[in-house]
C-alpha cells in the first residue's frame, strides 16, 4: 500500500505490511486501526499472527526514480498502517526484504516511526554502522508518561533521529521556576542527539484536547536546542486544522544527506 501522502511531513507513504496492536495511550484512537479494520474490513489488528504483507513493493522504486530525475530526495513514511519494529512473525520475516528495498532506493529518505524503540537495535540490518544516510529513525512520544522512549532512541546510531509528539495528549516539557534544578529552564526529555520534532493534536471523533502550552513548550525547547520543529495541527474533528495556533506556521525539516549529482548524458 503506497501513495502520494496527505500527511504534511512526508511526500509518500508506503506500507510493506499492515496491522499492529496497541501499546500505550497514544494508540487509543488510532487512525490506522480505524481505517484498516473499519473501512477496509481487514482483520489484522491485535494478535501478532494477523499481519498481512502488501503487494505494492514496487512503488518505492518508482518514487526513487522520480526523485533522482528531479534531483531532489523524497521522504517516504514507512509504515503508516503498521510498525516496522513490531516483534511479530510476519514483520520479522519481511523486514530483511524492507532493508534490501531501502538500499535500492538511495534517493528516498525513509522515515521509520515506531512506538517500540526498544526493538530497533536488535532489528537493524548488517552493515548499519553509524546509520544509513537515507534512513531517519523516529519514535512517537504522546506525553511524559512514555518519555523514556526518547533516551532509547538516542542510543541508536542514525543519520537523523526524530520525535513525533502526536497525538499530544499531555505535556512533554514543562517550564520550571527553579533553575537550580533545571538549568535550561525545562523539565522534560533532553533533545541531545535529536534532529527533528513533529508536534500535533489528535483529530477525529472523540479527539482528546491538546493544550496550546504543550506545543508552545515543544517549540521553545526546539528553538533553544537548535532542533527543527514541525507543528502539524491543533486538536479537532478534522486533521490539518489550527496549524497557526502558535502565532505562525512552523514546518521545518532536518537536512537530507547530500546525493551525488546525476551524470550529464551527452547526445
Distance CA 120, CA 171 (A): 25
Q: For 107-119, what is the mean pLDDT?
A: 98
Please report the pLDDT score of residue 38 as a whole number.
87
Do 108 and 134 form a contact (C-beta atoms < 8 A)? yes
Same domain, 119 and 204: no
In a domain, 94, yes or no: yes
- What Cα–Cα distance (Å) separates residue 102 from each residue in 6, 7, 9, 96? 22, 21, 19, 10
Same domain as 103, residue 155: no
The DSSP output letter for 131 is -
Average model confidence (pLDDT) across the chain: 92
Does a structural domain hold residue 129? yes
| Domain membership flag for residue 69 | yes
DSSP 60-126: HHHHHHHHHHHTS-EEEE--TTB-TT---HHHHHHHHHHHHHHHT-TTEEEEEEES-GGGHHHHPPT
Residue 263 lies in a domain: no
- In this structure, what C-alpha cell is assigned to residue 48? 501478532
Which range among 29-38, 146-155, 203-212 has the greatest average pLDDT? Answer: 146-155
Q: Are residues 28 and 97 in the same domain?
A: yes
- Note whether 102 and 180 are same-domain residues: no
- Does residue 261 lie within any of the structural domains? no
Give the Cα-Cα-Cα angle 118, 123, 129 (nearest 5 degrees).
Answer: 100
Mark whether 158 and 242 lie in a shared domain: yes
Note whether 7 and 114 are same-domain residues.
yes
Element (H, E) at 197: strand 196-200
Please indicate, yes or no, if residue 222 is contained in any of the structural domains. yes
For the beta carbon of residue 69, count every other beta carbon within 10 angstroms.
10
Residues 71 and 152 in one domain: no
Position 8 in a domain: yes
Which residues are CB-contacts of 244 (< 8 A; sequence separation ≥ 6)?
Answer: none
pLDDT digits (tens, 9 = 90+) for 215-235: 999 999 999 999 999 999 999
Both 118 and 218 in a single domain? no
C-beta of residue 201 within 8 angstroms of C-beta of residue 237: no
Say whether both 122 and 244 belong to one domain: no
As for how many domains the chain has, the answer is: 2
H helix runs in 118-255, sequence order: 120-123, 148-154, 212-225
The answer to whether position 267 is within a domain reads no
pLDDT bucket at 264, cuts 50 / 70 / 90: low
Contact 241, 233 (CB under 8 A): yes
Name the domain boundary from 140, 162, 192. Answer: 140
Pairwise CA distance, residues 42 & 257, whole Å = 37
Contact 197, 149 (CB under 8 A): no
Is residue 109 domain-shared with residue 179, that is, in the same domain? no
Listed residues 140, 160, 176: the one ending a domain: 140
C-alpha cell of residue 190: 533532553
Residues 136 and 159 in one domain: no
Domain holding 237, by residue range, is 144-256
Of 140, 163, 194, the last residue of a domain is 140
pLDDT 10s digits, 196-213: 999 999 998 889 999 999
55 and 151 share one domain: no
Amino acid at each position: 500500500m503506497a501513495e502520494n501522502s496527505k500527511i504534511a511531513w512526508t511526500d509518500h507513504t508506503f506500507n510493506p505490511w499492515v496491522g499492529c496492536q496497541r501499546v500505550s495511550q497514544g494508540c487509543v484512537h488510532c487512525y490506522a486501526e480505524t481505517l484498516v479494520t473499519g473501512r477496509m474490513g481487514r482483520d489484522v489488528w491485535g494478535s501478532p499472527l494477523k499481519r498481512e504483507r502488501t503487494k505494492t513493493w514496487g512503488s518505492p522504486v518508482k518514487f526513487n526514480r522520480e526523485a533522482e530525475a528531479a534531483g531532489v530526495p523524497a521522504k517516504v513514511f514507512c509504515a503508516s498502517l503498521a510498525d516496522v519494529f513490531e516483534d511479530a512473525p510476519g514483520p520479522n520475516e519481511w523486514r530483511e526484504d524492507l532493508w534490501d528495498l531501502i538500499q535500492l532506493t538511495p534517493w528516498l529518505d525513509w522515515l521509520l516511526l515506531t512506538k517500540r524503540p526498544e526493538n530497533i537495535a536488535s532489528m537493524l540490518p548488517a552493515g548499519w554502522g553509524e546509520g544509513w544516510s537515507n534512513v531517519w529513525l523516529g519514535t512517537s512520544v504522546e506525553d511524559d508518561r512514555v518519555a523514556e522512549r526518547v533516551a532509547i532512541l538516542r542510543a541508536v546510531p542514525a543519520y537523523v533521529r526524530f520525535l513525533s509528539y502526536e497525538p499530544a495528549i499531555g505535556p512533554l516539557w514543562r517550564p520550571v521556576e527553579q533553575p537550580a534544578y533545571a538549568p535550561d529552564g525545562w523539565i522534560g526529555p533532553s533533545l541531545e542527539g535529536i534532529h527533528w520534532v513533529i508536534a500535533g493534536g489528535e483529530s477525529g471523533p472523540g479527539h482528546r484536547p491538546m493544550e496550546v502550552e504543550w506545543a508552545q513548550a515543544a517549540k521553545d525547547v526546539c528553538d533553544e536546542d537548535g532542533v527543527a520543529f514541525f507543528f502539524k495541527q491543533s486538536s479537532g474533528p478534522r486533521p490539518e486544522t489550527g496549524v497557526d495556533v502558535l502565532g505562525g506556521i512552523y514546518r521545518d525539516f532536518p537536512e537530507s544527506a547530500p546525493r551525488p549529482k546525476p551524470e550529464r548524458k551527452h547526445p
